[in-house]
Structure 1
Amino acid sequence: MLSSEQLSSTFASLSALPLQIQEVWAAAEAVDLTAEYSQVKNIIVCGMGGSNLGARLIASALADRLAVPIIINADYDLPAFVNSDSLVILSSYSGTTEETLAASQPALDSGAKILAITASREGNRLQAWAISNQLPVLAFATSHNPSNQPRLAIGYSCFALAGLLVKLGLLKLSSEELQNALTALTAWGENLTPEHEDNDAKKIANGLVNKQIILVGGDFLAGNLHSLRNQINENAKHFASYLVLPDLNHHAMEGLSKPDSNSQNLIFLFFDSALYSKRVIERAKLTKQVVAKNNIAFADIQLLGKTKLEQSLEVLQLGAWITLYLALENDVDPLSIPWVDWFKQQLA
């Protein structure tokens, strides 16, 4: 288990989400970018695990604010369509991610515009490669992530990307709107810390113990569901999956009756939003009925944010705390990733 010092640094990283966002937003504004970087038809974000979660959040929660589509490329190779009209963003918190580095030279050969996003640290191969090729790089400080875990610093990776896209005119998001969201986020976060014994994140985590978790939300939260699924896997060492409304209504409901153990093993966690369309709100209500009729447990969370941005940040913050409390309930170390480490050693 964690030492008291490790546990303290983990709590500090989660509490610092608004500060991470503010710090990297300012850093993005200072990056020098030429006009040609704004003249693109698509954005390809090359990143793995925690380094592509920010792109997923932006692509779903802020889809109606993007001038061009974002494609997440979690692989060694680039799509064939990448060309001089593309903006390739190489994202790696560590700067040593194998798949992202493998995509760097093909991106250069394609004639695409290239940006690198990474944490500022020694031995950062991505940063060194970008500098050697005279490419712009946002190497952000991580002073508000004392845990040193990328998955506890999604504020950095998400708003490094958002800040750069705003600077390029490819994403509409004002500093005032962001600050309003961060003010709300800070207020919500004060009630999630350990000294609040009866807080929502703890109560939700307690209900998830020994259950296989199925996260459910509307389309604009798809990136959040993906992010939370990953964090449950890594932080709590607990298997989880996610389904998105309304698509799940066209397939997943028929899979609830078997195996028979579903009624004992599964729990659905619904994220309810007044910002969903009327039809999706109705679908969510009916989906809960289907789950209940299959004798499967569910819990629901009514989101408070006034905008999609606020609700996306709300889920990001609340979800991270849920995974930490679930890790403590599971008596596991939320910082270690032994199977990922083992896998990397076998590949070396």
Structure 2
Amino acid sequence: MKDLIASINSQITEAIQIGESANFNSTTKEINNILLCGLGGSGIGGAIISQLLKKELKVPFVCVNDYNVPAFVDNKTLIIASSYSGNTEETIAAVREGMAKNAEICVITSGGKLLDMAKENSWNHAVVPGGEQPRAMLAYSLIQQIYLLQKYGLTSDGHVRDLSQVTALIEKHENEMQAEAKKLAEKIHGSMPVIYADSSFGGVATRVKQQINENAKELCWDHVLPEMTHNELVGWAGGNSNIAPVYLATDYDHERTTYRWNISKEIISKYTTNINEIHAKGDSQIAQIFYLIHLTDWLSWFMSDLKKVDAEEVDVIHHLKSEMGKK
């Protein structure tokens, strides 16, 4: 896992090459909504991209993380099926429902049943390198979504241009990101992390939670502001010093959200002093997304190292899939 985290720039570079060379067939269909079908490390990219494009997309972007598609899906729906293995049963089930509704379907995968379905039905598809843990290959699904939506004419090419700056940003700050991640891992060691972010970075916050769950083998939760200040903030009356909030601060946070967080910090400090912030760097929103993803990937790895657990091992998930395969 450590080597996979360290290889982020080569992944971004290869993902851009895949996106540039992908031969997507154009469609004459009018697209009225977008549906991302995917789970875990393959699905979280949809939440991140939908929030990135919230102010740009003229049609709704909905993420589905289960077996069924919403009733609104029809022949004017663009379904993006994201499954690293290509064999995720929930995603395949949702895609089959979309087929029955004559949706426009495209696939991001490394192989498996989904790739076979894409070829059999002449769907647009992007093939990414396989053989690794899906959560370690997020750059591929994120970047393919950006290219795909651009090639469907749903977004501008500005985000593609912004991607070209990300590798230089990471290379410049790699050492300090690792140092910050290590220091934070040591500070919150033995505590339960709580990840907070502005709602426009909620997908990134969930990604951090997922990485801590799988790499560090720890429970964690995440929430977004301003919503958190309408409910969960009251729950901090039951908080204690064993809980460690981590706020993901960016240049794209709503100014009122930043003000809410500053007030919330004062309230939370009555129950725990282990309050932390990570400040994103980068000249674009996509750059700050990748900055936070990479730094917190290191955070989850350093947390696993402190606990002396194998960051890559996910035996319980393999067991669950094995048991599910019996029925």
State if a TM-score over 0.5 links the two structures.
yes
Partner of 2:212: 232
- Paired residue for 1:218, among 198, 202, 209? 198
Post-superposition shift, 1:289? 0.5
Partner of 2:174: 189
Is residue 2:138 matched to residue 1:127?
Answer: no
CA contact (8 A) 1:263 1:296 kept: no
Partner of 2:240: 263
Letter of the structure 1 residue corresponding to residue 316 of structure 2: W
Is residue 2:309 matched to residue 1:332?
Answer: yes
Letter of the structure 2 residue corresponding to residue 141 of structure 1: P
- Paired residue for 1:344, among 317, 321, 325? 321
Post-superposition shift, 1:97? 0.5
Post-superposition shift, 1:78? 0.9
Post-superposition shift, 1:248? 0.7
Letter of the structure 2 residue corresponding to residue 277 of structure 1: H
In 2: Cα distance, 1:66 partner to 1:32 partner = 23
Please give the secondary structure, in 1, of the residue aligned with 2:196: strand
Letter of the structure 1 residue corresponding to residue 114 of structure 2: L
Please give the secondary structure, in 1, of the residue aligned with 2:48: helix
CA contact (8 A) 2:242 2:272 kept: no
Where does structure 1 lack aligned partners over 5 or more consecutive residues? Answer: 1-9, 194-198
CA contact (8 A) 2:29 2:76 kept: no
Post-superposition shift, 1:11? 2.5
Where does structure 2 lack aligned partners over 5 or more consecutive residues? Answer: none
Letter of the structure 2 residue corresponding to residue 80 of structure 1: A
Question: Structure 2 vs 1, CA of residues 270 and 116 (structure 1 numbering), >3 Å: closer, same or farther?
Answer: same
- Paired residue for 2:16, among 25, 29, 35? 25
Partner of 1:157: 141
Please give the secondary structure, in 2, of the residue aligned with 1:172: coil
CA contact (8 A) 2:189 2:306 kept: yes
Q: How many residues align?
A: 324
Post-superposition shift, 1:190? 4.1
What is the TM-score with the length of structure 1 in the denominator?
0.88
Post-superposition shift, 1:94? 0.5
> Sequence identity of aligned pairs in percent?
26
Partner of 1:73: 64
In 2: Cα distance, 1:189 partner to 1:173 partner = 27
In 2: Cα distance, 1:238 partner to 1:216 partner = 17
Question: Structure 2 vs 1, CA of residues 119 and 217 (structure 1 numbering), >3 Å: closer, same or farther?
Answer: same
In 2: Cα distance, 1:126 partner to 1:117 partner = 9
CA contact (8 A) 1:213 1:269 kept: yes
Post-superposition shift, 1:330? 1.1
Question: Structure 2 vs 1, CA of residues 290 and 48 (structure 1 numbering), >3 Å: closer, same or farther?
Answer: same
Letter of the structure 2 residue corresponding to residue 157 of structure 1: S
Letter of the structure 2 residue corresponding to residue 337 of structure 1: V
Letter of the structure 1 residue corresponding to residue 317 of structure 2: V
In 2: Cα distance, 1:274 partner to 1:49 partner = 27
Please give the secondary structure, in 2, of the residue aligned with 1:202: helix
CA contact (8 A) 1:92 1:100 kept: yes
CA contact (8 A) 1:62 1:308 kept: no
What is the TM-score with the length of structure 2 in the denominator?
0.94
Post-superposition shift, 1:268? 0.4
In 2: Cα distance, 1:140 partner to 1:115 partner = 14
- Paired residue for 1:246, among 197, 215, 226? 226
In 2: Cα distance, 1:12 partner to 1:57 partner = 24
- Paired residue for 2:299, among 314, 322, 329? 322
Aligned alpha-carbon RMSD (Å): 1.7
CA contact (8 A) 2:81 2:95 kept: yes
Partner of 1:85: 76
In 2: Cα distance, 1:266 partner to 1:148 partner = 32
Letter of the structure 2 residue corresponding to residue 149 of structure 1: Q
Question: Structure 2 vs 1, CA of residues 341 and 37 (structure 1 numbering), >3 Å: closer, same or farther?
Answer: farther
